[in-house]
Structure 1
Amino acid sequence: MFKFIAIVGTNASFSFYRFLVNYMRGRYREQTEIEIQEIKNIPLFNEDMVQLPPQINLPQILNVPRVMADTLPANEFMLGKAKNKLNQNEGLIHEQTIEFLDQCFAIYVNFINNRKLCLKKLMTKEEL
């Protein structure tokens, strides 16, 4: 089972992104454990970096050597017209959006599996 961290990048009491990540935590609970972190609680973002546009700079920040997060380039899930696609009781209710989310999630899990395999092979080569 994978363990992922989802970063919610707003201090607002209600966030469609936070709502979506909670939905994902339930939907993919058989495959992953998703921990939700508020950006305001992460020291790196608790400084001047909060002023940066997060969707542009977050992948760059997460790829710095001290963080070393696995971010998949060019695979972004954007939820347009969120009010029409989310329901407080059911979560995401728009079928095409659910299918796209499933595709994005599967691509990311595949990316992580491949990265894990590559790292394992590299470690084996270093031991020889």
Structure 2
Amino acid sequence: MTKPTFVGIVGTNASFSYNRILLQYMQSHFADYANLEIAEIKDVPLFNEDLLKAKDIPASVQDLTQQIEAADGVIFATPEYDHAIPSSLKSVLEWLSSYSHPLQSTPTMIVGASYGIQGTVRAQMNLRDIIDSPGVNAITMPNNEFMLPRAQDQFDDNQQLTDAKTIKFLDQCFNNFIKFADQMKEDPFVG
């Protein structure tokens, strides 16, 4: 069986992010099971309908589109800002839903790390609403929300998760996502 390829989107344009660290951990930890390519959004400009109408699509949007289209699924890693996803991630989704629609029927998984005790519960709910909307139409894996609260205390000096129960739950969610993406490939109406 060929390993699936997933795109892990760092859901912030910040230079330091525990969500980036989480995706890097996943990239290494699951290397035997999947290829995880990490995509940054820091170079994607704010969505601008005038550029869209002029067909002046930024290269960063075109590159991300191609990366998503070539993948078997997408993993969003989002922080939570004011009970929602960051504006930079929302802008990326606006570009994708207006320009090329690469998330259409694409299996997606959502993870998130935050400083607070609630993880990224509201940001994940917000993101699910957005990627389920017309124009985006991604298929989000249900019932596998991985939220990492107090992220500043969860990694060691080598950026490895330290809590065995957390690792076990992430393993479970990721394995479920591999199965979900595989089922979607066989039957796109599974989602």
Q: Give the superposition deviation at 1:87.
A: 1.3
CA distance in 1 between partners of 2:178 and 2:165 (Å): 20
Across the aligned residues of Structure 1 and Structure 2, the Cα RMSD in angstroms comes to 2.8
CA distance in 2 between partners of 1:42 and 1:3 (Å): 22
One of 45, 50, 70 as aligned partner of 2:87: 50
CA distance in 1 between partners of 2:11 and 2:130 (Å): 14
- Scaled by the length of structure 2, the TM-score of the pair is 0.52
1:41-86: CA deviation from partner (whole Å, max 9, x where unpaired): 446xx32792758533433444567655442134211001212211
Please identify which structure carries the higher helix content.
Answer: 1
Identity %: 40
Q: What's the counterpart of residue 9 of structure 1?
A: 11
What SS is found at the alignment partner of 1:102?
helix
Is residue 87 from structure 1 mapped to residue 156 from structure 2 by the alignment? yes
What SS is found at the alignment partner of 2:16?
coil
Q: CA, structure 1 residues 2+47, in 2 after alignment: closer, same or farther (shift >3 Å)?
A: same
Q: CA, structure 1 residues 54+7, in 2 after alignment: closer, same or farther (shift >3 Å)?
A: farther
Is residue 113 from structure 1 mapped to residue 182 from structure 2 by the alignment? yes
- Scaled by the length of structure 1, the TM-score of the pair is 0.74
CA distance in 2 between partners of 1:88 and 1:66 (Å): 41
Q: What's the counterpart of residue 20 of structure 2?
A: 18
What SS is found at the alignment partner of 1:39?
coil
Flag structure 2 segments of 5+ consecutive residues without an equivalent: 49-85, 91-121
Q: What's the counterpart of residue 169 of structure 2?
A: 100
Alignment check: 8 A CA contact 2:8 2:39 kept: yes
CA distance in 2 between partners of 1:78 and 1:4 (Å): 19
Q: CA, structure 1 residues 28+77, in 2 after alignment: closer, same or farther (shift >3 Å)?
A: same
Flag structure 1 segments of 5+ consecutive residues without an equivalent: 120-128
Q: CA, structure 1 residues 17+35, in 2 after alignment: closer, same or farther (shift >3 Å)?
A: same
CA distance in 1 between partners of 2:140 and 2:164 (Å): 26
What SS is found at the alignment partner of 1:40?
coil
Alignment check: 8 A CA contact 1:9 1:40 kept: no
Q: What's the counterpart of residue 123 of structure 1?
A: none
Quick one: which amino acid aligns to residue 29 of structure 2?
R
Alignment check: 8 A CA contact 1:2 1:33 kept: yes
Alignment check: 8 A CA contact 1:4 1:34 kept: yes
